[in-house]
Structure 1
Amino acid sequence: MMKPCQICFSFAQQFDACYCTFMKSLPAMLQQVLLCAGLCSVLASANAQQFSGQFTSLLSQEVLIQHASGQQHADAAHLSVTMPASLQQSAEAHWPPSLMKQVVRWQKAPFGRHASIVTGWYANGQKALTVTMRQQHLHGNWQSWYSNGQHRDSGRLEHNQPDGMWKLWHANGQLRSVRIYNANKHDMIQLALRQQNPKLTFQPLAVQSLKHPEQLHRHTRANAVLPAMAGEETAPDLPFSAGLPHGVVEDYFANGQPVIVGQYNTGLKEGPWQYYAANGQLSASGYYWQGHRHGAWKVYTENGKLKLLQEYVHGRLVHSKQYHR
């Protein structure tokens, strides 16, 4: 009885003989074509294996930079930061400056085939941020923390644009803001403004931007959608410079009292909005239509009594009555 290795050798000899007989029966020109095709296939396979090896080697590398003076300073705000070169090349990505100058250690690790997870730490060892990057873009989940460990902000980015729900917190752990963004609608409006006949668009923000080009920037820039509130020196420092708001709006003071409750529709304020004072009393309320005040607007005193009644029509004030208490 033949052993397995003998059987394989016998089969290989028979296959080789059949292959040689087949090749001899073909015209000389066809033989050369088949041989060239086989050689190209072998070379392509070898190149693919080599490229795969280089790619795997590239993904297996982790970039880890520790600032030399990171342990010598108690105040992390004064630390200078050297970001990994691959992150510095992502010119379109918006890294929050106030957060970046506090990060003293970076790590970039592979995440899938074309993505990576970037993580940063404060000098005290607390994690500062974690974000997914794809081809030099902020693309995926973003989450950051204060140096005391409390959440700072979280959300999702699509090629450097916010998409979906974004939440921000105060340093004491209290929820600060909730916004919903839509990256797809933002791209659609920009595309509508670039088309051959932009007047065919029916998006209110696009129509307004045709007459006044600055309107798109005004309604989508980050510090306009999320401005500073009472007690804050500056607007929140976010990982994006612009985004199209589309959905619920909620802002809260550090004590948990509401500041603003409303909603956006494709970048414009729409529907009822309420504004509150720090003591929880309603300070103003009214209705927006395509970004303009429309209908009755009421302004209240600190103790909740009606102080001013105004009537608007598509942003134009048509009537006003003041109450003396």
Structure 2
Amino acid sequence: MKVNHQMVLSTQFRPHNNLGAVNEEELGAAYAPAPARVLKPGSTGNVIVGCMKNEAPYIVEWIAYHRAIGVDNFLIYTNDCSDGTDAVLGRLQEMGVIQHRNNDNWKGNSPQQYALNQAMKEPVIENAEWIIHIDVDEFMNVRTGNGTLEDFFAAVPDATNVAMTWRLFGHNGVTQLRDEFVIDQFDTCAPKYCPKPHTVWGFKTMFRNIGAYAKLSCHRPNKLAQPFEDKVKWVNGSGRDMTRDAAHNGWRSSKKNVGYDLLQLNHYALRSAESFLIKRQRGRALHVDRSIGINYWIRMDWSDFRDITIKRNIPACAPNTNG
């Protein structure tokens, strides 16, 4: 592996951070609290659909954060939880914050895909303006305007699909599970230009609910309907058109279409070392036949650079604020 690493450093695949214009190591002023969104009659607005298993410590922060940036509704599926995840989500449902569905009796190859298939039949998804499928270790980091989805959409008014490229954040030397914000504890990450390994530039998709795709999968919607061939426009996180590359397939960015200037998906796949061990015991949501071992840690534990741009959102997520 060391030899391969040295070889990569002398090729076009050499990782570096000289991409885009965002200063990621200087903390800007906190984003101003966004006013409450007013939805059109019958609309459920911007909706996240997510799948969870034993994620109790992280749920409240993740939901508070995304509510603060303009997510209006959440549809959360859980399966085989034993750590209080269902209880937390049940209480949030009673409060009207989310909708929770039990997915213990999933069928097929994975609980995640079964849940996504069921989600497409739910009114909260059918009536959404934008649909987003991300996990609880993924945070949408809007880096334009006041840091809200509304600001991002204003920058890409013609977009129907947004490839939100991962920025992998390492464990940052944190060994124990702490009662602190994930987005505050972990700020060391992969460089923006990092074509190898393939997992670094994976993306998740946010898409307008216009009926263009028949299926929602882990990373993206699939099965583009023929009448929409010339109606979809995919953009990257810098707002650049990448429709030709992504309209029909693909789940990772490439050297020619990667972009982070307006939006990136902060991916805290490991969090602390203790959290990683819990994740390893829990297993995967999609590839349930694959274990989470040391190779996963090596692929995901990036600490070469520092990005603190998301920390401008911390005041909006704290208790007793509009977050």
For normalisation by structure 1, the TM-score amounts to 0.22
For normalisation by structure 2, the TM-score amounts to 0.22
Structure with greater contact order relative to length (CA < 8 Å, sep ≥ 6): 2
